[in-house]
């Protein structure tokens, strides 16, 4: 049935227990300009925007539907320092040196060409910027992997 899968599993809720680890590692500062790679529905982007009170957060994702939800929720929360871009972070032409921090909540592990993608993202980061991706460990080291 259409939409049944979405009803059975809320992606954000299913991964919520990992979020504090990303938040702690990222350490978003008040003036940071944050790029959220593969932002989906924008949960981490919105949180980054709240932490970067005098900075900003930009979420980038390829999904039009997820970004529509991200924009609706951000407007509803009254966030003014957040924006969302529908594009592929692997090839999007970011303004060079724009961001202080790039984060990703399981988004970077889907890059088709990781070397090209991280090179592209790297150009968007200023000198000394931070990159904090949250990704699954190799198979066999995943605590939820029943095949070990």
Work out the pLDDT band at 5, boundaries 50, 70, 90: very low
From the options 2.60.40.10, 3.40.50.150, 3.40.50.740, 3.30.70.100, give the CATH code of 28-134. 3.40.50.150
Cα 95 to chain centroid distance, Å, stands at 18
Name the least confident of 38-47, 57-66, 105-114, 133-142. Answer: 133-142
Task: Check pLDDT > 50 for residue 103.
Answer: yes
Tally of CB atoms within 10 A around 128 = 6
DSSP-assigned letter for residue 138: P
Residues 39-86: tens digit of each pLDDT: 999 999 999 999 999 999 999 999 999 999 999 999 999 999 999 999
Where are the domains positioned within the chain? 28-134
DSSP-assigned letter for residue 18: G
Q: Give the residue from 136, 147, 133 showing the smallest Cα distance to 38.
A: 133
Angle at 27 between CA 110 and CA 128, to 5 degrees: 80
């Amino acid at each position: 049935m259409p939409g049944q899968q979405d009803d059975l599993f809320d992606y954000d809720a299913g991964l919520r227990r990992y979020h504090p680890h990303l938040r702690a590692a990222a350490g978003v500062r008040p003036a940071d300009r944050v790029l959220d790679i593969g932002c989906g529905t924008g949960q981490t982007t919105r949180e980054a925007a709240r932490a970067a009170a005098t900075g900003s957060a930009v979420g980038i994702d390829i999904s039009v539907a997820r970004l529509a939800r991200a924009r609706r929720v951000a407007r509803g929360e009254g966030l003014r320092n957040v924006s969302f871009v529908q594009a592929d972070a692997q090839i999007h032409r970011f303004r060079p040196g724009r961001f202080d921090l790039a984060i990703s909540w399981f988004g970077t592990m889907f890059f088709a060409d990781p070397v090209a993608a991280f090179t592209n993202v790297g150009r968007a980061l200023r000198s000394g910027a931070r990159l904090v991706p949250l990704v699954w460990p190799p198979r066999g080291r995943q605590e939820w992997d029943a095949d070990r």
